Amino acid sequence: MHIRLHTLNQSIRFILIQNRAGKTRLAKWYMQFDDDEKQKLIEEVHAVVTVRDAKHTNFVEFRNFKIIYRRYAGLYFCICVDVTDNNLAYLEGIHNFVEVLNEYFHNVCELDLVFNFYKVYTVVDEMFLAGEIRETSQTKVLKQLLMLQSLE
């Protein structure tokens, strides 16, 4: 019998969206880090992810965790999870999120994330909360976002 104890207790540590130059377009933290630490993590993630090519896996070991990432045009979407977490589920979690952004911003581009950074946080919170997947239905998420959009 394989016993898992600590491993089930935390999934997403952070979500990062970075462009190829390393500029952060979204940083969502689910663990306590101080500002220096965050900056360091951001740089490290950029360093490990950007050297990989399309033939590589979408997973990289990262400190005691792993990064599941996917590149969309010039943007890297990265999720840092526990080493025992389900790689493909988070990989598709990223894609699901990107499809929602694409629908919400009508063909999303990097600039949408820059100018509407405060709305991107809302989208994230609808889909991921407390480091867990909150909602996976694109229809439900978009319906909710449109409702919020209509509010003053």
Name the segment binding another protein (CB under 8 A); options: 13-21, 74-82, 85-93: 85-93
Q: Copy the structure tokens of residue 148.
A: 């919020």
CB of 81 to another protein, least distance (A): 12
Identified binder of another protein from the candidate list 24, 50, 72, 110, rule CB under 8 A: 24
Identified binder of another protein from the candidate list 27, 33, 50, 72, rule CB under 8 A: 27
Q: Looking at 98-147, which runs of residues are DSSP E strands?
A: 128-129, 132-133
Q: Which residues contact 108 (CB under 8 A, 6 or more apart)?
A: 98, 101, 102
3 state SS for 12-46 = CCEEEEEECCCCEEEEEECCCCCHHHHHHHHHHHH
Residues 54-73 interacting with another protein (rule: CB under 8 A): 55-61, 63-64
Residue 103 in the binding site for another protein (CB under 8 A): yes
Q: Copy the structure tokens of residue 79.
A: 């999720």
Residue 9 in the binding site for another protein (CB under 8 A): yes
Name the segment binding another protein (CB under 8 A); options: 13-21, 74-82, 135-143: 135-143
Asked if 93 and 79 touch (Cβ cutoff 8 Å), the reply is yes
Q: Copy the structure tokens of residue 114.
A: 């820059």
CB of 66 to another protein, least distance (A): 10
108/44 Cα distance (integer angstroms) = 26
Residue 50 in the binding site for another protein (CB under 8 A): no
124/135 Cα distance (integer angstroms) = 10
Q: What is the binding site for another protein (CB under 8 A)?
A: 1-2, 4-5, 8-11, 24, 27, 36-37, 39, 44, 52, 55-61, 63-64, 86-89, 91-93, 95-96, 103-107, 111-112, 114-119, 121-122, 125, 129-140, 142, 144, 146-149, 151-152
